[in-house]
Amino acid sequence: MLRLYDTRSRRAEPVVNGRSLRMYTCGPTVYRHAHVGNLRSYLLSDLIRRVAERQRARVVVCRNITDVGHLADDAAIDPAGEDKVLARARAEGRPAHEVARFYEEAFLADSAALNIRPPEHAPRATESIDLMIELIAKLIEKGHAYVTAGGSVFFAAESFPTYGEISGNRLDRLRPGHRIDGVDPRKRHHADWALWKPADRELTWDSPWGRGFPGWHVECSAMSLRHLGDRVDLHTGGIDLRFPHHEDERAQSDAAAGHEVVAHWAHGEHLLFEGRKMAKSAGNVVLLSDVTAAGLDPLAVRLALLEHRYRQQLNLTWETLRAADRTLRRWRTRVAQWAESPSRPMSAEAVARAQEAIDDDLDLPAALRIMRDLERDEGEPPGAKFEAFLHLDHILALDLSADIGKVPATPPLPGGAAELLKQRAQARDAGDWPAADRLRTELAELGVKVADTPEGQIATPGLS
């Protein structure tokens, strides 16, 4: 059974509820292209889905599209603050809805290129305003929110005693945030946050409190409650969303439902590129289009991300991506070659160890090491390797069968070559290089070319 580290409980716990998994993933704010660091968060939910489905669970995923409500500074409370979509629309000289749809389509294309499966529900914030107004009204009725002069609505943080259980940021330890003119005087407590903000500009709607737009945090609560109900098995997102977004979202949803809505919270760590946080100012923002422009397969990004635990900060580099691309192409060639051999039952022991690693908080690096060992195991029949690699590729989603039919079958090893290769591998492991060279020569006389790689020796019959 899949176990994930629950950010709230601070321990690894089973996340599949019986034979079902209802999962919410915070989606993109569609005002720019998603970079590979953003895409890492969506890979996390895709891996969870694939593992749960292999365990015969029915998975229902909701991933929203934020196309309104994000201020230029997400922490800002100034109602005059500019929405990110509107800022981009002004910069590009076209309507806000057109900008949002353009970047939404770009995000979906990048997700497809990484084999990230689409969710069952993908609600847009602009098409869910009625749900948000309904939720805000419910929170006011229950005493968890209040209306101020001018039409702002704030959530009363002190009405939710367990605030801070996800991030550890308890209300009694939170310091007031500061603007130029100090803490917003409309708030009853400095940690309260806006649910509705009055404004007279594009992307605003009528509400019982006047014309305005929703706060960012209320969007996810309204959409998850509508599409997944008030019992959600798992909520995922990047570590940067843990506070305040997920704390605020939990408070809103639980206050409205009257009970704990989300059973488990899982967060993926930051991704660095060439040792620095991705930022436009640093000039190191890498898009998936940059990867393909460099001649690399987009799934090399997926493999490079799988080489590290999702809860570990990852420093991605161009060399890492090139190495992943080489491995991906080699494995596809191997699978195509193995496909020409008689089918054999896959190595139950190796596959079981790989699946056990994956079930243990998505330890994909351990599973990939097991696959590399299996690739080099000269005692394992090619047909068995073929079955094992394709079985695990249901989760890895690296399209390892892509080259089947494109690569000519490798001729079988001539008599005696297998034993010589085994002796040579032992000589290499023992550091006996003269013996390894002698055995290479003997293999060449049999028509077998041997190449040494970081993953071990590779024998190619009929090409010497």
Output the average pLDDT for the chain. Answer: 91
Tokens (6 digits) for 150: 């001018």
Q: How far is residue 394's CA from residue 392's CA, in Å, rounded to a whole number?
A: 5
* Interval 37-41 mean pLDDT: 94
* Interval 245-252 mean pLDDT: 97
Q: What is the model's pLDDT at position 459?
A: 84
Q: For residue 48, what pLDDT band results from cuts at 50, 70 and 90?
A: very high
Give per-residue pLDDT as tens, 326-380: 999 999 999 999 998 888 999 899 999 999 999 999 999 999 999 999 999 999 9
Tokens (6 digits) for 226: 């509508």
Q: How far is residue 340's CA from residue 16's CA, in Å, rounded to a whole number?
A: 38
**Residue 280 is assigned to a ligand binding site:** yes
Q: What is the model's pLDDT at position 182?
A: 52
Q: What global pTM score does this model have? A: 0.85
Q: For residue 450, what pLDDT band results from cuts at 50, 70 and 90?
A: confident
Among 78-92, 117-131, 311-325, 346-360, where is mean pLDDT lowest?
Answer: 78-92
Alpha carbon distances (Å) from 276 to 283, 304, 456 = 10, 17, 33
pLDDT > 90 in the chain, percent: 75
> Is the predicted pLDDT of residue 298 greater than 90, yes or no?
yes
Q: What is the model's pLDDT at position 15?
A: 96
Burial label for 431, CB within 10 Å (0-12, 13-18, 19+), is: exposed
Q: For residue 77, what pLDDT band results from cuts at 50, 70 and 90?
A: very low
| HSE value, Cβ hemisphere, 13 Å, CA-based, for 262 | 27
> Is the predicted pLDDT of residue 277 greater than 80, yes or no?
yes
> Is the predicted pLDDT of residue 453 greater than 80, yes or no?
no
Query: What is the chain's alpha carbon radius of gyration, rounded to the nearest angstrom?
Result: 27
> Is the predicted pLDDT of residue 10 greater than 60, yes or no?
yes
Q: What is the model's pLDDT at position 452?
A: 75
Q: What is the model's pLDDT at position 81?
A: 57
Torsion angle, CA of 396/398/401/406, rounded to 10 degrees?
-160
Q: How far is residue 274's CA from residue 319's CA, in Å, rounded to a whole number?
A: 10
* Interval 216-229 mean pLDDT: 96
> Is the predicted pLDDT of residue 46 greater than 70, yes or no?
yes
**Residue 62 is assigned to a ligand binding site:** no
Q: What is the model's pLDDT at position 69?
A: 64
**Residue 245 is assigned to a ligand binding site:** yes
Give per-residue pLDDT as tens, 109-119: 999 999 999 99
Among 71-85, 135-149, 188-202, where is mean pLDDT lowest?
Answer: 71-85
Q: For residue 71, what pLDDT band results from cuts at 50, 70 and 90?
A: low
> Is the predicted pLDDT of residue 232 greater than 90, yes or no?
yes
* Interval 41-53 mean pLDDT: 97
Reduce the secondary structure of the chain to three states and give it as a string.
CCEEEECCCCEEEECCECCEEEEEECCCECCCCCEHHHHHHHHHHHHHHHHHHHCCCEEEEEECEECCCCECCCCCCCCCCCEHHHHHHHHHCCCHHHHHHHHHHHHHHHHHHCCCCCCCECCEHHHCHHHHHHHHHHHHHCCCEEECCCCCEEECHHHCCCCCCCCCCCHHHCCCCCCCCCCCCCCCCCCCEEEEEECCCCCCECCCCCCEEECHHHHHHHHHHHHHCCCEEEEEEEHHHHHHHHHHHHHHHHHHHCCCCEEEEEEECCEEECCEECCCCCCCCCEHHHHHHCCCCCHHHHHHHHCCCCCCCEEECHHHHHHHHHHHHHHHHHHHHHCCCCCCCCCHHHHHHHHHHHHECCCHHHHHHHHHHHHHCCCCCHHHHHHHHHHHHHHHCCCCCCCCCCCCCCCCCCCCHHHHHHHHHHHHHHCCHHHHHHHHHHHHHCCEEEEEECCEEEEEECCC
CB 129 within 8 A of CB 66: no
* Interval 39-55 mean pLDDT: 97
Give per-residue pLDDT as tens, 397-434: 999 999 987 756 667 788 888 899 999 999 988 889 88
Q: What is the model's pLDDT at position 408?
A: 61
